[in-house]
Amino acid sequence: MATRNLVNIEAVSKSFGDRPLLDRVSLGVNAGERIAVVGRNGAGKSTLLHVLTGIENVNGGRVTVGSDVHVELVSQVDTPDPDATVASLVVPGRPIHEWAGDAQVRDVLTGLLGGFNDDLLNARVASMSGGERRRVQLAKALINDCDLLLLDEPTNHLDVDVISWLVDHLKARPKLAIVVVTHDRWFLDALCDRTWEVVLGKVEEYDGGYSAYVLAKAERDRQASSSEARRQNLLRKELAWLRRGAPARTTKPKFRIDAANELIENEPPPRNTTELLAFAGARLGKSVFELQDASMDVAGRTLLDRVNLNFGPGDRIGLLGANGAGKTSLIRVLLGELPPSQGKLITGVTVKPAYLSQHLEELNPSWRVLEAVEKVASRVELGKGRELTASQLCERLGFSADSQWTPVGDLSGGERRRLQLTRLLMGGPNVLVLDEPTNDFDVETLTALEDLLDSFAGTLIVISHDRYFLERVCDDTYALFGDQAITHLTGGVDEFISRRRSMRGHTVMSSRSGVSNESAVVVETSGLSAAERRIIEKDISRIERTLRKVDEEEATIHGKMAESANDHAFLAELTARLKELAMKRDELESAWMVSAESLN
């Protein structure tokens, strides 16, 4: 039986002013297809979604939507009727006895809105937060049976566990066609089986989700010899990561994952090792941030009660929690902006933090990009006579030589976010605190940022709903579950999602039987104390860092051996050093196995 065609666009062109976004593009969407749309900010991804609705006017070509095809669009622009309620948008005109018996409606309301009651259904959407409105938008689209669902950044403002639920729900509806624009690479890889890349007015098609797209694109670029070395290195590093799998999902260390998965040959080292080591040049002591019996009250609510926490030098922490759980407030306490209501905060003497908040800093709109960065510093000394200029760092984060002369007032939200991060890095911090750093970034900028953070030698603390980013740059995960504690999750994001789902299910059961939601939270404990577990995990992290250094030294030696094939005395020295490193590797691997076993 032939696959049902839903939408076709033929030789479509679309411009805004004199700027072409789509140039004679021809595409089609069939029933059941799951298509990822990727490309740089401003490339025309959202425009393509609007064209697929059949409503958007185009400058040329033809858009054909089947006569019986129902299309739903969840856009980034959200302007609800001031008088609209959740019920009037999600189940308009339907009596409760009708939709409450529909399993799909109940699943959507429970998964996205946490259930349904009179207070929720009668709530005015205009008074809700951005995250709450996004959930209502999604619920409306999912409850209205459609043939084609167009999603523009659907994961913005959503918690990690809700994103996971959304993927599972969409997978359970195989007849529904989906075209999605998002910077959330985990979402794309988990859901999509085709990828469209919007680039220079054209749309290039790839089979598979995000990881398959990265592989195919790297191969296309290699064959065409059209990619510059820096961009190719980013793609190869990204592919290497995808093949390894996230460290948070395995008990194996990186060197065993690499061996097991036969990582692609010649994976490049982190590009900016020297540069970012210089940014963390101010040495950190034994402790960076320490909370002792600390409590945190915000707006009359106790979010943390007598918590003990210690983040040390080199820690790479991902911080998870539901919206409103207190993640940003915790960051403000650690940075000294908000005093704990009880207990105390101890900050390391040499700590020099930089905080990327969710709010864009106000800058003089007439400043040029480069000028704004040079207001912080014009260059960073790297040692041995080397330095990194403000212009070079701008280029690392996607500001070309020409765009560095753009006035700040002309920058988009994503560009201003990049500028804010560039200014922070130029200040030479040894502690980076990033609150939702992936907001407004396209995939290419995210891979560049991850590559940059790979070699940051200081302490990194990240709040993000972007699961891929968290697993890519963080070694440890902590969570706020609303139980007035901070929980260390050895199982990473997967454990967070599992616990949240368990709590949600328990909460639903409790509410039905009249039990308070507060009493439904149960925190499991392991045989090891938190302090003992932390010591062992720190030891494992230290061993893995040492193993990475062994890997790097071995690679350097092999390079020197290739360059000095005729210098037999030097070759003998290098060979002896390789043997020493091999013995050291064996010792480290044995130590790692002992430590890992003690955690199980």
Nearest CA to 124 among 77, 78, 82? Answer: 82
- Identify residue 369 by its one-letter amino acid code: V
Choice between 493 and 533, residue whose per-residue pLDDT is larger: 493
Q: Name the helix (H) or strand (E) containing 275.
A: helix 273-279
Q: Are residues 457 and 309 in the same domain?
A: yes
Q: Is the pLDDT of residue 599 over 80?
A: no
Q: Is the pLDDT of residue 268 over 50?
A: no
Does a structural domain hold residue 249?
Answer: no
Does a structural domain hold residue 201?
Answer: yes
How far apart, in whole angstroms, are the C-alpha atoms of residue 221 and residue 228? Answer: 9
How do residues 133-153 score in pLDDT, each as one tens digit? Answer: 888 999 999 998 899 999 999
Q: Is the pLDDT of residue 328 over 80?
A: yes
Residue percentage of the chain with pLDDT more than 90: 29
Q: Is the pLDDT of residue 254 over 60?
A: no
Place of tokens 């129902």: 70
Q: Is the pLDDT of residue 248 over 50?
A: no
Q: SS3 for 195-239, per residue?
A: EEEEECCEEEEEECCHHHHHHHHHHHHHHHCCCCHHHHHHHHHHH
Residue 181: both structure tokens together: 């624009």
Band the pLDDT of 294: cuts 50, 70, 90: very high
Which residues are bridge partners to 489 per DSSP?
477
How far apart, in whole angstroms, are the C-alpha atoms of residue 2 and residue 293? Answer: 66
pLDDT of residue 511: 35
Task: Indicate if the alpha-carbon torsion angle 17, 18, 19, 24 is positive or negative.
Answer: positive
If one counts the domains in the chain, the total is: 5
Residue 547: both structure tokens together: 């193993």
pLDDT of residue 453: 83
How far apart, in whole angstroms, are the C-alpha atoms of residue 167 and residue 82? Answer: 30
Q: Is the pLDDT of residue 117 over 80?
A: no
Q: Are residues 112 and 198 in the same domain?
A: no
Choice between 167 and 91, residue whose per-residue pLDDT is larger: 167
Alpha-carbon distance values, 193 to 33, 59, 212, 271, 298 (Å): 7, 30, 9, 31, 44
Q: Are residues 428 and 561 in the same domain?
A: no
Q: Are residues 314 and 438 in the same domain?
A: yes
**End position of a domain, from candidates 110, 145, 180:** 145
Highest mean pLDDT among 122-126, 402-406, 409-413: 402-406
Give me the mean pLDDT over the 284-291 stretch: 83
Does a structural domain hold residue 231?
Answer: no
Does a structural domain hold residue 592?
Answer: yes
Nearest CA to 430 among 290, 312, 292, 310? Answer: 312
Which residues are bridge partners to 314 per DSSP?
none
Alpha-carbon distance values, 3 to 20, 30, 177, 180, 338 (Å): 32, 7, 12, 20, 58
Strands 19-30 and 431-435: unpaired
Residue 29: both structure tokens together: 């969407």
Does a structural domain hold residue 295?
Answer: yes
Residue 150: both structure tokens together: 């167009």
Q: Is the pLDDT of residue 360 over 80?
A: no
Contact present, 271 and 230 (Cβ < 8 Å)? yes
Supply the range of the domain harboring residue 534.
526-600
pLDDT of residue 239: 62
Lowest mean pLDDT: which of 234-243, 383-392, 562-571? 234-243
Radius of gyration of the chain (CA): 26
Q: Are residues 103 and 115 in the same domain?
A: yes
Order of strands across the sheet with 148-152? 71-74, 148-152, 177-181, 34-38, 194-199, 202-207
pLDDT of residue 181: 94
Residue 66: both structure tokens together: 């089947």
Give me the mean pLDDT over the 288-311 stretch: 89
How far apart, in whole angstroms, are the C-alpha atoms of residue 411 and residue 246? Answer: 34
Strands 5-16 and 19-30: antiparallel
Residue percentage of the chain with pLDDT more than 70: 80
pLDDT of residue 71: 93
Band the pLDDT of 103: cuts 50, 70, 90: confident
Give me the mean pLDDT over the 267-296 stretch: 64
How far apart, in whole angstroms, are the C-alpha atoms of residue 244 and residue 257? Answer: 6
Task: Indicate if the alpha-carbon torsion angle 511, 513, 518, 523 is positive or negative.
Answer: negative
Q: Quickly count: other Cβ atoms within 10 Å of residue 293's Cβ.
A: 12
Q: Name the helix (H) or strand (E) containing 167.
A: helix 160-171
Choice between 293 and 504, residue whose per-residue pLDDT is larger: 293
We report the CATH number of the domain holding residue 342 as 3.40.50.300
How far apart, in whole angstroms, are the C-alpha atoms of residue 303 and residue 481? Answer: 10
Nearest CA to 30 among 8, 61, 63, 56? Answer: 8
Residue 9: both structure tokens together: 């666009």
Length of the chain: 600
CA dihedral angle for residue 557, residue 558, residue 563, residue 567, rounded to 10 degrees: 70
Does a structural domain hold residue 37?
Answer: yes
Angle between helices 530-563 and 568-599 (to 10 degrees): 160
Neighbour-count burial of 438, counting CB atoms closer than 10 A to its CB (0-12 exposed, 13-18 middle, 19+ buried): buried
Q: Are residues 61 and 113 in the same domain?
A: no
Strands 342-347 and 60-65: unpaired
Give me the mean pLDDT over the 264-276 stretch: 42
Q: Are residues 348 and 396 in the same domain?
A: yes
Q: Are residues 10 and 152 in the same domain?
A: yes
Place of tokens 């704004």: 372
Give me the mean pLDDT over the 476-501 stretch: 89
How far apart, in whole angstroms, are the C-alpha atoms of residue 130 and residue 439? Answer: 13
pLDDT of residue 194: 93
Choice between 395 and 234, residue whose per-residue pLDDT is larger: 395
- Return the beta strands (E) in 312-363 as ranges: 316-321, 342-347, 353-356
Question: Mean pLDDT across the chain, nearest whole number?
Answer: 80
Residue 491: both structure tokens together: 């199982």
Does a structural domain hold residue 296?
Answer: yes
Give me the mean pLDDT over the 475-497 stretch: 89
| Maximum C-alpha span of the chain | 88
Helices (H), 375-431: 390-396, 413-426
Residue 374: both structure tokens together: 């040079």
DSSP 345: E
Q: Are residues 330 and 418 in the same domain?
A: yes
pTM of the predicted structure, to 2 decimals? 0.70
Q: Are residues 407 and 460 in the same domain?
A: yes
pLDDT of residue 548: 79
Q: Are residues 336 and 479 in the same domain?
A: yes
DSSP 24: E
Helix (H, G, I), strand (E, B) or coil at 63: strand
How far apart, in whole angstroms, are the C-alpha atoms of residue 349 and residue 314? Answer: 16
Nearest CA to 74 among 195, 161, 180? Answer: 180
Choice between 239 and 69, residue whose per-residue pLDDT is larger: 69
How do residues 8-31 score in pLDDT, each as one tens digit? Answer: 999 999 988 778 889 999 999 999
How far apart, in whole angstroms, are the C-alpha atoms of residue 440 and residue 183? Answer: 8
How far apart, in whole angstroms, are the C-alpha atoms of residue 84 and residue 89? Answer: 7
Does a structural domain hold residue 322?
Answer: yes
How far apart, in whole angstroms, are the C-alpha atoms of residue 600 and residue 496? Answer: 18
Q: Are residues 362 and 448 in the same domain?
A: yes
